[in-house]
């Protein structure tokens, strides 16, 4: 048994290390959640489009659709936008005279309901069923956890997964 | 003479120490599991989005966009840029500016129309 001061020092070190790990785990959990959302949203989108193409018996006109990936910039209609473009269209510069928002395509998919409401933890039993069917088994515990609501604490899923 | 005072404290310290060590092991394991899942998820997502069939079906309709930003006073601009395009946004205090720089191809920018023609 070491001297008390040594143990105290070491306990403190371990405590600091523990906090650091918990912080990292938290970050990685939200990263994983975002990836799960993206997977579900993308699969849902593809499924929806496949179905509606089958129903319509043809793909939609090319000028009525936007393929992923894309970015949305939205602003008030009153905003004056000054835009300069290089000749080769490799460079753009926009000046707005008022506030604007930038959203990625995943945000659009979420707004379209493609993430089954998981992004806000509002998920009906049917939504959850769909969401679970769209991810591999190993990720199901996370989906179930996300369906319950936004996660604030670090949680560790019980048992290690087989696949 | 010397009196050893640390005995009781020491015992609880030792058990706390053990507990922390055990927890450290658990956390290491949890983190490794997360790393593995994140790597798998990234791979799955890449395979999913690179699949030619999915690529063809991975689109939104103009009406989806309009419904997602349904405020009538909103202007919706769509940017499609090649991978690795850099986007820079100025500090709000220095004005509202966005610059895009691509090295691998043209950038397309267009407005989402408001009429119900369904055409972008």
Q: Is A6 helix (H, G, I), strand (E, B) or coil?
A: helix
B25 touches chain A (CB under 8 A): no
Residue A47, H or E segment: helix A4-56
Name residue, tokens 């850099």.
B86
- Please report how the helices A4-56 and A140-147 are oriented relative to each other, as an axis angle in degrees rounded to 10: 90
CB contact under 8 A, A11 and B26: no
Cα–Cα distance between A28 and B28 in angstroms, integer? 13
Residue B100 is classified by DSSP as E
| Mean pLDDT along residues A59-64 | 88
Reported as a single tens digit per residue, the pLDDT across B32-76 is 999 999 999 999 999 999 999 999 999 999 889 988 887 778 899
Backbone phi, then psi, for A89, in 5-degree steps? 60, 25
A67 touches chain B (CB under 8 A): yes
Answer whether A89's CB lies under 8 Å from B107's CB: yes
Task: Tell me the pTM.
Answer: 0.83
Could you tell me how many residues make up chain A? 163
Query: B120 falls in which pLDDT band (50, 70, 90)?
Result: very low
**Which pLDDT value is given to residue B112?**
82
Torsion over CA: A58, B65, A130, B30 (sign) = positive
Q: Is B97 helix (H, G, I), strand (E, B) or coil?
A: strand
Best A37, A43, A74 member to test B by mutation, with max B CBs in 10 Å, is A74
Could you tell me how many residues make up chain B? 120
R_g over Cα of chain A: 23
User: Is B117 a residue whose pLDDT tops 60?
Assistant: no
Q: Alpha helix locations (H) across chain B?
A: 7-50, 52-57, 62-68
CB contact under 8 A, B31 and A24: yes
Measure CB to CB from residue B62 to each of A66, A71, A112 and give the nearest one. A66
Distances (CA, A) of B115 to A55, B80, B118: 24, 22, 7
Reported as a single tens digit per residue, the pLDDT across A2-59 is 455 577 788 888 899 999 999 999 999 999 999 999 999 999 999 999 999 999 999 8
Return residues 55-114 of B near A (CB < 8 Å): 55-62, 64-65, 67-69, 73-81, 87, 89, 92, 95-103, 105-109
**Which pLDDT value is given to residue A149?**
74
């Amino acid at each position: 048994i070491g001297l008390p001061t040594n143990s105290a020092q070491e306990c403190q070190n371990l405590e600091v290390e523990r906090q650091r790990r918990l912080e990292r785990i938290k970050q990685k959990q939200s990263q994983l959640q975002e990836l799960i959302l993206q997977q579900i949203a993308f699969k849902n989108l593809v499924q929806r489009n496949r179905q509606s193409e089958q129903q319509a018996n043809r793909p939609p006109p090319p000028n009525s659709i936007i393929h992923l990936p894309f970015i949305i910039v939205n602003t008030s209609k009153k905003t004056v936008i000054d835009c300069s473009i290089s000749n080769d269209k490799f460079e753009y510069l926009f000046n707005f005279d008022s506030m604007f928002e930038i959203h990625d395509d995943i945000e659009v998919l979420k707004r379209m309901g493609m993430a089954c409401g998981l992004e806000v933890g509002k998920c009906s039993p049917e939504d959850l069923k769909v969401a679970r069917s769209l991810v591999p088994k190993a990720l199901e515990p996370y989906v179930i956890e996300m369906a319950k609501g936004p996660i604030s604490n670090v949680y560790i899923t019980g048992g290690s997964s087989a696949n | 003479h010397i009196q050893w005072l640390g005995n009781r404290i020491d015992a609880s310290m030792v058990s706390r120490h053990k507990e922390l060590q055990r927890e450290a092991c658990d956390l290491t394991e949890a983190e490794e599991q997360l790393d593995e899942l994140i790597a798998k998820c990234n791979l799955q997502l890449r395979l999913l989005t690179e699949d030619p069939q999915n690529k063809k079906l991975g689109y939104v309709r103009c009406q989806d966009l309009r419904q997602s930003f349904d405020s009538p006073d909103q202007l919706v601009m769509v940017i499609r840029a090649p991978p690795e395009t850099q986007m820079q946004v100025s500090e709000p205090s220095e004005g509202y500016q966005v610059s895009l720089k691509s090295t691998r191809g043209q950038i397309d920018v267009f407005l989402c129309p408001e009429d119900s023609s369904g055409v972008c």
